[in-house]
Structure 1
Amino acid sequence: MNTQLLRPPGIDVGVLLRRWRDRRGVSQLQLASRADSSARHLSFIETGRAKPSLALLLRLTEQLDVPVRERNTLLVAAGFAPVYPETPLDDPAMGVLSGELERLLAVHDPNPALVHDGLYNVVGANRGLLALVSGVADHLLAPPINTMRLTLHPEGMAPAIRNLAQWRAHLLDQMRRQIAVSGSAPLADLYEEVAAYPVADSRAPEPAAHAAYAVPLLIEREGGQLLSFVSMLTTFNTPLDVTVSELAIETFLPSDQETAAALRDMLGEVRPPEAGPGSR
């Protein structure tokens, strides 16, 4: 995978716009029409013969569905100040949001749930999730905890995942799609790292443990107990902050009654987490 930065130093905003337009498979005429401009003017912008106004550039990035972080990159390349702030979750301005995320995670118990950023670094987790990660190597639990490393590293959860090849393929495909959408070089670097982890032989999953409606995550606990989950991702609509735009809440729902019952039993074995969203 190409890990070249989306915007090398000194590159013109027109070149960046053309790259995003090519990435989205949109013609100049289509984009200009959607952004209330003309194909001629857009052509001049892409070739450096004209500079877009702030209002037009914001419309173009919106129509191209450019990620919020990269919209700031295009604005700076055009000579404008960034429009979208990047506020840490532990900032007082994020106090309400952080508190609501903590409450949301707690409500999901005993089902495992976490909040991660655009690089899959964990910024919050509930007790149900802590029950699943017991026994992994300490270095994988050092902040910032990364969910992809935690899941796929041979010293992490990988040995306990019964359908590792299937789940690994799902996660790597998810990352590839995100890289294609965002153009994130750090995410591409993370992909290269976790894709290179050795894959140990895993036993074939029991057919009865499959969920008919989604790819399951099958985890074998000590004693041979098999837990079966399906995962669900939730993101924020119309975010106006870079940090918020990259947050995702992932919930692991039990796909059978045995797993649901086991989670209720496991919850009593785990102490509440000491830190919530915003901790690193």
Structure 2
Amino acid sequence: MTETFQRPVGELLRGWREQRRLSQLDLANRVEVSTRHVSFVETGRSQPSREMVLRLAEHLDVPLRDRNQLLLAGGYAPIYTESSLHSPAMLAIRSTLRRLLEAHQPYPALVVDRWWNIVEFNSGIKIFTEDVDEQLLKAPINALRLTLHPDGLARRITNLAEVHAAALTSLQRQVVSTADPELQDLYDELRSYSTADQPLHPGQTEVVLPFNLDYQGHRLSLLTMIATFGTPLDVTVSELMIESFYPADEQTAELLRELA
């Protein structure tokens, strides 16, 4: 939401309420105030207190980055820090991430920010970076672009149509949740990578979509999990996602151990 702090706080809150597809009555019931009060806040007839801005933002599930913008729009100072991962204050976070990544070896794992740029990774991701266009490996490396770009990992993904569709669905949910124009641009870019010639045909016995790829003549089948920090109070921390890959079968597990 670029420069949204220049818009009135009530207008911004109304935008988030509509984004969440809630009526004024729905929101009023959640926050335990009158519908009239919500209406007055949204139209600017009532100036919400700092506490009310935060209560409304919490019940609207507004990301921390945008809660700071709401506070600024309401005339209040932001309360959530946005620290660099390399700052002394983030030492414990960096140490935790590195322990997680190292403990996950020989399986691939990486940490991405809100825009899916890779900020940390373990040696296991070499199976993803081999034989991709060098332009895709220039910092910041975007994990989704690296995966789905025609000159990237996509050439070795054997169920590309399914992976492409699943990634778009997940990213679309993130776009709706954050209303972030940069994520919308990424979504539009990824959507332009056509997989029309590859029909969707998930296996009848699959309960989770596997990530299947060729690596040096081997077939690897992986499952992926996304984790985040609980109860973050810093914008940067709240936007970090740890993506861990696990072998979907014993053959893949054995191959990854041998490759390590």
State the TM bucket, normalised to the shorter chain: over 0.9
Question: Structure 2 residue aligned with 1:218, among 200, 212, 234?
Answer: 212
Question: Is 1:67 aligned to 2:60, yes or no?
Answer: no
TM-score computed with the length of structure 2 as normaliser? 0.94
Question: Deviation string for 1:177-236 (max 9, x for gaps)?
Answer: 1001111111101111222124485699896xx87220011001232x210011100011
Question: Structure 2 residue aligned with 1:38, among 34, 38, 42?
Answer: 34
List runs of 5+ in structure 2 lacking aligned partners.
none
Which AA in structure 2 matches 1:221? Y
Which AA in structure 2 matches 1:260? A
Aligned partner of 1:248 in structure 2 is: 241
Question: Deviation string for 1:145-184 (max 9, x for gaps)?
Answer: 1001100111110000000011000001110010011111
CA contact (8 A) 2:210 2:222 kept: yes
Aligned pairs for 1:47-66 within 5 A: 47-66=43-62
Separation in structure 1 between the aligned mates of residue 31 and residue 5 of structure 2, nearest angstrom: 27
CA 202–264 in structure 1, closer or farther in 2 if over 3 Å, else same: farther
Number of paired residues? 260
CA contact (8 A) 1:162 1:203 kept: no
Separation in structure 1 between the aligned mates of residue 199 and residue 16 of structure 2, nearest angstrom: 43
Question: Is 1:12 aligned to 2:8, yes or no?
Answer: yes
CA contact (8 A) 2:5 2:73 kept: no
Question: Is 1:141 aligned to 2:137, yes or no?
Answer: yes
List runs of 5+ in structure 1 lacking aligned partners.
268-280
CA contact (8 A) 2:5 2:69 kept: no
What displacement does 1:34 show? 2.3
CA contact (8 A) 2:4 2:69 kept: no
TM-score computed with the length of structure 1 as normaliser? 0.87
Aligned partner of 1:272 in structure 2 is: none
Higher relative contact order at CA 8 Å, sep ≥6: structure 1 or structure 2? 1
Q: CA RMSD in A?
A: 2.0
